[in-house]
Amino acid sequence: MQFFEHIHGVTGQPHAYYQSMSRYKSGWEIKTARILSRMEIPFGYEPIDFPLPGDNYIPDFILEKSVHGRKIVLEPHYEMTKKQARKYSLFKQIYGHDFFLILLLKNDLIPFYHKRNMLTDDVCDDVWPI
């Protein structure tokens, strides 16, 4: 509860809330879910809505596994916008001590995002090619 009280103090918005399972929105999300299932890695799809100042963020996948005590968040993208990169940066700034954000990006687009300064250290914890 202290975590949620802290977040409410930072964002000025209601606590994060859980929502029911929804359908996958993209082919990349379907492929990611199939791979995780095939590897028997437990995950939640869009399981929680995080309030951000002036916005919100619903991670695509949160794994039950952790890295150094931080839950793993997977975000598969075919294309990523600057607005999404800013949202991830804000998420990492506020929730980064509890969550490890990994972006799954199309391999040949990763250099493009680096050149446009969209994959800076404050945006995510790691980038995996897909």
Residue-level pLDDT at 63: 95
Share of the chain above pLDDT 70, in %: 81
Q: pTM for this one?
A: 0.77
Mean pLDDT, the chain, integer: 85
pLDDT band of 61, cuts 50, 70, 90: very high
Average pLDDT over residues 71-97: 93
Helix axes 2-11, 82-95, angle to 10 degrees: 130
Q: Is 62 helix (H, G, I), strand (E, B) or coil?
A: strand
Residue 100 to residue 10: CA distance in whole angstroms: 19
pLDDT single digits (tens) 22-55: 465 677 888 899 999 999 999 999 989 999 999 9
Backbone angle region of 7, left / alpha / beta, with phi > 0 → left and psi within -120 to 50 → alpha: alpha
Average pLDDT over residues 106-122: 85
